């Protein structure tokens, strides 16, 4: 049973759609964002809306400063 060109194109487009859908989380994970798990949750549950996906993308790209706590005794 050989796979046809149409089926291959459908599989490639489906893979691309999944990749683009989870792009905000992948960016957050790559940047080691401290809130990558909440970004994933927003991406999963609200990513299907364009507003939720854009919000997750903006959140994953947001610059954050790591806070260093020092004990000066």
**Model confidence pLDDT, tens digit, residues 9-68:** 999 999 999 999 999 999 999 999 999 999 999 999 999 999 999 999 999 999 877 656
Phi/psi region, residue 32 (left: phi>0; alpha: psi -120 to 50; beta: rest), is left
Q: What integer pLDDT is reported at residue 3 of this predicted model? A: 83
Tokens coding 23: 């792009």
Domains of the chain, residue spans: 24-62
pTM for the model stands at 0.79
Q: What integer pLDDT is reported at residue 63 of this predicted model? A: 84
Coil, helix or strand for 28?
A: helix
């Amino acid at each position: 049973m050989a796979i046809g060109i149409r089926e291959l194109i459908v599989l490639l487009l489906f893979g691309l759609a999944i990749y683009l859908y989870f792009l905000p989380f992948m960016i957050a994970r790559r940047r080691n964002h401290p809130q990558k798990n909440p970004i994933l949750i927003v991406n999963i549950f609200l990513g299907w809306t364009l507003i939720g996906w854009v919000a997750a993308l903006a959140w994953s790209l947001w610059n954050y400063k790591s806070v260093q706590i020092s004990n000066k005794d």
